[in-house]
Chains A and B, each alone.
Chain A
Amino acid sequence: DGGITQSPKYLFRKEGQNVTLSCEQNLNHDAMYWYRQDPGQGLRLIYYSHIVNDFQKGDIAEGYSVSREKKESFPLTVTSAQKNPTAFYLCASSSNQPGQGTPGKPQHFGDGTRLSIL
């Protein structure tokens, strides 16, 4: 079955450590996204990518980095510069907007990764 796989499900980070969250999709989607969700809050956009080898900062990109070397994969690195990384991280993918006047399709989401500080 097609879908989005995020791993690991739970992740613990030590002080000063970088950690990488994996996101893989087999839906043949061009666009991929990373969101952060704090308890009881909405989703905030970290980074997004519409095409391989290209990505843009979202609303809260500081302290995070991404790469998009393959269409299927969009890993997120939480760097030591992110001082409050404890959150639920969701990866999503979608078809690109087909054109002006056709606002496009919804996203498919992975099951998320819960990141905590040790």
Chain B
Amino acid sequence: AQKITQTQPGMFVQEKEAVTLDCTYDTSDPSYGLFWYKQPSSGEMIFLIYQGSYDQQNATEGRYSLNFQKARKSANLVISASQLGDSAMYFCAMRGGRDDKIIFGKGTRLHILP
């Protein structure tokens, strides 16, 4: 069965520092996709970044990068130069498997301190 684990329920980071949000996953399927979403207090889900299981390079999108370590089954999100507006809940998700489900981790609440 597929599983996503986010072990950091909450984090406090000083503004302008880099932050790493942890995500590990488990799947027996060789083809899968990994995603990160941001959820502000208003509730909407904002797509941040995607990594395919066959991608050789780590994905990057502006200040976001995904540190993909396939052998360790980890897909950590790195936010460089954090901003106050980065304060939100962050979810790691995985898509794949024969039934092509998309499942989410429990999330990490990030607080950026001024």
Contacts and interface: CB of A to CB of B under 8 A. Distances in A.
The answer to whether A binds B is: yes
Interface of A: 31, 33, 35, 40-45, 48, 50, 56, 58-59, 88, 90, 92, 94, 96-97, 100-109, 111-112, 114
B31 interface: yes
B70 to A, nearest CB: 13
A73 B52 CA distance: 28
B52 A102 contact: yes
Contact of B53 (A35, A58, A103, A112): A103
Given A42-B91, A109-B45, A103 B52 contact: yes
A103 B106 contact: no
Interface residues of B, number: 28
Given A88-B43, A111-B44, A103 B95 contact: yes
A94 B102 contact: yes
10 contacts: A42-B106, A44-B104, A45-B103, A50-B100, A88-B43, A97-B96, A103-B95, A103-B96, A105-B33, A109-B44
A107 B96 contact: no
Question: Lowest 9 A-B CB distances belong to which pairs?
Answer: A103-B33, A109-B45, A42-B106, A43-B104, A106-B47, A42-B104, A97-B100, A103-B52, A42-B107
A92 B32 CA distance: 18
A105 B52 CA distance: 9
A23 to B, nearest CB: 14
A90 B93 CA distance: 15
Interface string B102-114: 1111110100000
Interface in B26-43: 31-33, 35, 37, 43
A96 B107 contact: no
Nearest to B34: A103
Interface of B: 6, 31-33, 35, 37, 43-45, 47, 50, 52-54, 91, 93, 95-96, 99-107, 109
B102 A33 contact: yes
Nearest to B45: A109
Contacts of A42: 6, 91, 104-107
Nearest to A43: B104
A112 B43 CA distance: 7
